[in-house]
Chain A
Amino acid sequence: MKIVVLVKHVPDTWNERTLDLNTGWIDRTGAAVIDEINERALEVALAYQDSHDAEVVVLTMGPEQAKDSLRKALAMGADSAVHVLDPLLAGADLVRTATVLAAALRQTGFGLVIAGNESTDGRGGVIASMVAELLGVSQATNLNSVVIGVDALHGERATEAGTLTVSSVLPAVISITELSATPRFATFRNIMRAKKKPVVVMTLADLAVDTAPRADAITLAAQRTPARAAGIKIVDAGDAGTELAGFLAGKRLI
């Protein structure tokens, strides 16, 4: 089976992340990494490949630097990578991103597509569903666990109300949560091998996707909120609990 994992190159959550106040776009000049959730998505694919006949492809849409995320994924064990790279994609909104990813998936072909449930930068949590709808295939999203079979898959889907046991026919698009898998480390051998693995670059023209920039959702204004400052800090000398109760009462919080 061909498994395509969707990976996104995102600003590192360990750093302070910034927005360009003019465009409202994420400032991508700082340190960026493969989103942790996508390492988990890749792990789900690689764990399946460990015991089944499968080809694992990673796909990203992003700027030149997104290559680093693809390299990381190849070093973890993915077989090949596809990079949709086009200056006309800067600032793409959700609909456009999903449209482009779906077009790329039509070209690569797939038995299963695995995405993260939510990216740490945009936090949309929608791309997997949109891609499934565009491709007209089944979707099973926000899975805490998944068992991939020959022509179907089963999983535990998490929602605010509870968990659902779901099943889906293949081909399908799924998304996984943080609970799904712990990503493996790239071995030295795989890091060396990754350098020789193919990375195919595609442009909008290659994908036959409308190249007119789509801007139905436009940023009007962006502002920084004031940073928080530290307040009172005491060292417990045996009565801190009582003091805290006094503080809360003073603020009418109890």
Chain B
Amino acid sequence: MSHIITLIDITPAGEIANTAAQLLSAAARLGTPVAVAAVRAEITNNRQLVARISEHLGTLGAEQVYLVASEHVGVIMHWPQLEALATAATTLAASGVLLCNSIEGREIAGRLAVRLGGTLLVDALDVRQDNDRIVATHSIFGGSYLVDAAVTGKPAILTLRQSTADETPVVQHPVATINILDTDVAGAHSAVIEAFHAVEAGADRPDLRGARAVVSGGRGMQSREQFALVEQLAAALGAAVGASRAAVDAGFAEQTTQVGQTGVTVSPELYVALGISGAIQHRAGMQTASTIVAINTDANAPIFDIADFGIVGDVFAVVPQLIAAIAARDSAA
């Protein structure tokens, strides 16, 4: 069976990104899964850490692991990952490469497709093998269409939309074969990273992408201070926080929380829209949620057209009562 390469993110402390499971189980459906990561030499020189990484990736289904040590990790944008993938893909004559459809992942995928002369499909919801070609399902125009596309050229380079949906059980490899390579690339042409400022992850709040529940606030939240009510309901529901573009523009919420056409696409079990009118571009990012709840003072707000439960009312009256009702149920249970 042919090799399918996945790009795995590993933190300097040796933690494996939570997207690894999704990538490796998708790879298992297409061939023999291989995990590739670009790391600094501090990691490859640490035998214990290497053993732990290979064991962890092995249990996620990786048959082989390529750790590519590069001084450029965290210093030159994309370059080490690109070198690592290109090296592994060429060495193994891989038929496919899977990456996470993050900003980094898709950009690296694009460059790799150019480098390897492969074919690129981005933002696949699902991938499968169909005779000797790979078929990917995509959601287009905010979930209005589902499209299956096949890749005939090789290698196939695909990015997968992040999801926590049930992963195919994989064959575990208690000891994945480890290959440690060094890259010493001259002539890297990419931006230099001078500083990194991590997003302040709300304590134990789930990630917006892949969250089971999302509570979003719009311009109707009035101010940054009052936007705190969105966070309180999110905390009560164990939900991620989202925002409309108007709320982001007004400075109520961070740009990374924007849901919609030009923001994040979410598909949670529950989506709660607070003070959001439901413009077509906002709906494009959330209309595939299983259950939609909307609270808006304007009875004609378009968000009600797609809401399973709509309340014409003031968020500042309804939401505190909802939070209290949830707390009462929790303590009764």
Contacts and interface: CB of A to CB of B under 8 A. Distances in A.
Interface residues of A, number: 87
A160 B313 CA distance: 34
Interface of B: 77-78, 102-104, 106-111, 113-115, 118-123, 135, 140-141, 143-153, 189-199, 209, 213, 237, 245, 255-256, 261-262, 269-270, 280-281, 284, 287-288, 291-293, 295, 299, 304-314, 317-326, 329
Contacts of A98: 110, 114
- Residue among B146, B189, B305 with max Cβ neighbours from chain A (10 Å): B189
Given A124-B123, A243-B311, 18 more contacts: A13-B284, A15-B280, A129-B108, A130-B113, A138-B190, A139-B191, A161-B199, A165-B194, A166-B77, A179-B255, A216-B153, A218-B150, A218-B152, A220-B149, A225-B143, A230-B307, A233-B307, A244-B293
Contact of A162 (B114, B198, B284, B312): B198
A149 interface: no
Given A120-B262, A162-B196, A168 B191 contact: yes
A19 interface: yes
A228 B283 CA distance: 11
A94 B311 contact: no
A161 to B, nearest CB: 6
A127 B313 CA distance: 44
Interface in A1-59: 13-19, 24, 36-37
A12 B153 CA distance: 32
A93 interface: yes
Majority DSSP secondary structure for residues of A touching B: mixed
Nearest to A24: B147
Nearest to A232: B309
A149 to B, nearest CB: 14
Nearest to B323: A241
Contacts of A65: none
Nearest to A215: B152
Interface string A67-86: 00000000000000000000
A147 interface: no
A216 B150 CA distance: 8
A32 to B, nearest CB: 14
Which 5 residue pairs of A and B lie closest in terms of their CB atoms, listed nearest first?
A241-B321, A236-B313, A216-B153, A126-B110, A245-B325
Contact of A129 (B111, B196, B284, B293): B111
B147 A234 contact: no
A208 interface: no
